Structure 1
Amino acid sequence: MDLSQLQDALASKSYDEVAGICDELMLQIASMGVSFQEEWPYTIHLIGHLYDSDLNSARFLWKSIPSGIKESRPDLVAAWKIGQCLWNRDYAGVYAAIRGFDWNPEAHGLVAAFQEKYTERVFQLLVSAYSTISVADAAQFLGMSEDDVTNYALQHGWTFDSGSRMLTVTKPKIVTEQKLDPSKLQRLTEYVFQLEH
């Protein structure tokens, strides 16, 4: 079984390609009738789907894994715990599941990249949902200590009131560029010309 394409994607940190590569390789190998279940990198495959925010594919993969493999691979069970927390929108649970397992070197980079991407996504949800939020609630959502979440928010332009321990969300400024369409300018010129003559 040649997993060099997957190994290259992991080495180059092309994590957004991992799930697709695994899906394609799995189909190719299965179509040849080769037994691959024992050697298959299920943990990487599962985390790849979580990285892509594809919970349905992650659930389908989990259900298709033989129970003997699930029972013999604690890293796979740990990866699925992350998926369960995502499915239940247990924000703090996602971080606890990530930190609650000592990931092997092959999965560590992918898990760290997933955590960073997940934190950014949750932070953007907080930006869109709140105008103010307590430090404790933000820490819960982002899986950080209160000091870390305060620093993180301040780095992203939020303000902090130490008396009330509240963070004020700074909404990003929406910049819209107005593009001038030359054909519209030409029609306007012709229209004004017609009015003058």
Structure 2
Amino acid sequence: MDLTLLKEAIASKSYDQVADICDELELQFAARGVNYQNEWPYAIHLLGHIYVQDINNARFIWKRTPSAIKESQPEVVAVWKIGQCLWTHDYAGVHDAIRGFDWSAEVKDLVSAFSESYTKRMFDLLSSAYSTITVADVTKFLGLSEEGVTNYALQHGWTIDPESKMLTVRKMPKVVQQKLDPSKLQNLTEYVFHLEH
């Protein structure tokens, strides 16, 4: 079973490509009648979908994972624990599931990259949803200690009231993408054409 493309993506830290590569390889092996199930990197395949926030497909991968694999590979079960927490919006549970397993060398970097990405996504979500929030509440979302949350928030321009341990959120500037109206483009084209002739 040739997993070279997958190994190259992981080595180059192209984690956003892992799910698509695994899906494609799985289809190729199945189409050729290759019995890949005992050698398949289920943990990486699940993590690939979790990394790109495709929890629904991760759920289907989990469902079709053979029981023997689930029983013999605790790392696959540990990855799915992260998926379950995401599915149920158990934000603190995601961090607990990440910290609660001693990851293998081939999975560790992908888990770490997901953890960083997830923490950033949660912080961005908090930034857009709150104007003030307690340090204790932020710890549940970011999976950091109170000191870690305070440092992280201050690094991102938030302020803290040391008495109440209340963080004041620094709103991120909204990036507005302007969409080009095709009719305006047509009018501009006709106008320029008219000027040139």
Match of 1:191 in 2: none
What secondary structure sits across from 2:160 in the alignment? strand
Aligned partner letter, 1:15: Y
Give the gaps of 5 or more residues in structure 1: 188-197
Could you tell me how far 1:173 is from its partner in structure 2?
2.5
Could you tell me how far 1:128 is from its partner in structure 2?
1.1
CA RMSD across the alignment? 1.8
Match of 1:57 in 2: 57
Match of 1:190 in 2: none
- 1:29-44 superposed matches below 5 A: 29-44=29-44
Deviations 1:126-183 (A, max 9, x none): 01111100000001110000000000000000000001100000101246699xx9x8
Aligned partner letter, 2:129: A
What secondary structure sits across from 1:33 in the alignment? coil
Quick one: percent identity of the two aligned structures?
Answer: 64
Structure 2 CA distance for aligned equivalents of residues 67 and 54 of structure 1: 22
Match of 1:9 in 2: 9
Larger Rg: 1
- 1:1-197 superposed matches below 5 A: 1-174=1-174
Structure 2 CA distance for aligned equivalents of residues 50 and 21 of structure 1: 14
TM-score computed with the length of structure 2 as normaliser: 0.89
What secondary structure sits across from 2:127 in the alignment? helix
8 Å contact from structure 2 (residues 139, 145) kept in 1: yes
What secondary structure sits across from 1:53 in the alignment? coil
Structure 1 CA distance for aligned equivalents of residues 128 and 177 of structure 2: 22
Structure 2 CA distance for aligned equivalents of residues 175 and 29 of structure 1: 43
Could you tell me how far 1:120 is from its partner in structure 2?
0.7
Structure 2 CA distance for aligned equivalents of residues 41 and 108 of structure 1: 14
Would the alpha carbon gap of residues 103 and 130 (structure 1) be closer, same or farther in structure 2, given more than 3 Å must change?
same
Deviations 1:47-83 (A, max 9, x none): 0000010011000000001111111000000000000
Deviations 1:5-34 (A, max 9, x none): 000000000000000000000000000111
Structure 1 CA distance for aligned equivalents of residues 176 and 99 of structure 2: 41
Give the gaps of 5 or more residues in structure 2: 179-183, 192-197
Match of 1:193 in 2: none
Aligned partner letter, 1:150: T
What secondary structure sits across from 2:140 in the alignment? helix
Q: Runs of 4 or more off by more than 3 Å in structure 1?
A: 174-178
